[in-house]
A = this chain, B = another copy of it.
Amino acid sequence: MTITIVGLGLIGGSLALDLKRNGFAHHVIGVDESAEHCTYALRTGMVDDCADLQVACIQADLVILAVPVKAVVAILPKVLNWIREEAVVTDMGSTKGEILSLMANHPNRRRFVAAHPMAGTEHSGPAAALNGLFHDKAAIICDAENSDEDAVRLAERLFRSLFMRIIYMDGTDHDMHAAYVSHVSHISSFVLALTVLEKEKSEANIFNLASGGFASTVRLAKSSPRMWRDVYEQNQENILDVLDSYLGKMQQFRDHIASGEFEQTYQLMETANAIGPILEQQEKVKN
């Protein structure tokens, strides 16, 4: 199968690596607006060819859009116009609502499968691509009933070939739940970095006082501003909703400390501890 991957960053690059390794793709065509990314991908054998978007779409059995979500919104209608009749398009975007509503009346809508792999790292670009990035992670397919059955089957085969667990979800629900779990985590990490950089002027002190705990909590603050700006724009309401909840909890925590109500902070922390068993369940599935 010929697979066109649009966007040779962390996600697109990692897909290219694994879909060639596992034999799912016989030929991988890369598309990227950065000539540097294309050169890197060709030189390292990550892709077989690079081409411009239209040429690459015409040749593909499957087109995977692995670009920031606003770029998905911008190019998806054209991609659906250009592909061959039996070809399929899927995307890897972190938000789904606007993409799905913009595509609703596209004549080729049913060749599109909206997807979101719950995988990534804080790094970006093709050099950040990793073998096995998707292994044992969840792949969320949204509004599958609005895609042709054979298109959904192909997307499922794609994700299974990467050893992903497939979850089906309504697109609107997806955005809400993604905000509640994934998007708020990234923002809390960005804000932690901003706070530490403001308060702690000495890099040596950050370095010396950063235990593994700080590194873990602040890790996502290294993530791509471009990708995340698009997510905020596409998922504004859900993100505001969860940030208001976060701000309320933080204020409550702060006020207990300010009032010397340390037992109340104990209660809050005991409640927070409940996240442990949920995460351990996840680790068990991974191992």
Instruction: List residues of chain A with CB under 8 Å of any chain B CB.
Output: 118-122, 137-138, 140, 165, 167, 177-178, 180-182, 184-200, 202-203, 205-223, 225-226, 228-229, 232-233, 236, 239-247, 249-251, 253-254, 257-258, 260, 262-263, 265-266, 268-276, 278-279, 281-283
In the assembled complex, the Cα of A262 lies from the Cα of B269 at a distance in Å of 33
Query: Which residue in chain B gives the minimum CB-CB distance to A243?
Result: B254
Does A210 contact B118, Cβ atoms closer than 8 Å? yes
- Supposing A187-B253, A265-B232, A273-B225 touch, asked if A216 and B213 sit within 8 A by C-beta, the answer is no
10 closest Cβ pairs, A-B complex? A225-B269, A193-B272, A193-B275, A181-B209, A222-B276, A118-B211, A185-B217, A180-B200, A180-B199, A190-B272
Bound-complex Cα distance A191 to B32 (A): 39
Q: State the CA gap A179–B135 with chains docked (Å).
A: 37
- Known pairs A191-B253, A217-B189; A207 contacts B282 (CB<8 A): yes
**Interface contact B177-A209, CB-CB below 8 Å:** yes
Q: Is the interface of A mostly helix, strand, loop or mixed?
A: helix
**Contacts A180-B196, A215-B283, A222-B279 known; 13 new A-B pairs at CB < 8 A:** A121-B212, A177-B200, A185-B218, A188-B250, A195-B245, A195-B246, A213-B219, A215-B279, A216-B220, A218-B275, A222-B273, A225-B270, A228-B269
Residues of B within 8 A of A225 (CB): 265-266, 269-270, 273
- Which of A138, A181, A199 has most chain B Cβ within 10 Å? A181
Q: How many copies does the complex hold?
A: 2
Q: Which chain B residues border A200 with CB–CB below 8 Å? A: 177, 180-181
- In the docked arrangement, what's the CA distance between A192 and B275, Å? 10
In the complex with contacts A177-B200, A269-B225, A194-B249 CB distance below 8 A = yes
Chain B residues whose CB sits within 8 angstroms of the CB of A228 once the complex forms = 265, 269
The residue among A138, A217, A221, A274 with the most chain B CB atoms within 10 A of its own CB is: A217
- Known: A208-B138, A208-B140. Contact between A192 and B188, CB under 8 A? yes
**With A187-B253, A217-B217, A247-B247 as given contacts, are A278 and B203 in contact (CB-CB < 8 Å)?**
yes
- Give the residues in chain B near A282, CB-CB below 8 Å: 207, 210, 215
Residues of chain B contacted by A266 (CB below 8 angstroms): 225-226, 229
CA distance A240 to B181 in the complex (A): 26
**Cα A274 to Cα B201 with chains together (Å):** 12
Chain B residues with Cβ below 8 Å from A217 are: 185-186, 188-189, 216-217, 219-220
Q: Assuming the A-B contacts A197-B274, A257-B240, A262-B229, are A182 and B203 also in contact, with contact meaning beta carbons closer than 8 angstroms in the complex?
A: no
When distances are taken between beta carbons in the complex, the residues of chain B under 8 Å from A222 are 273, 275-276, 279
Whether the pair A196, B213 counts as a contact (CB closer than 8 A) is no
CB distance from A275 to the nearest CB of B (A): 4
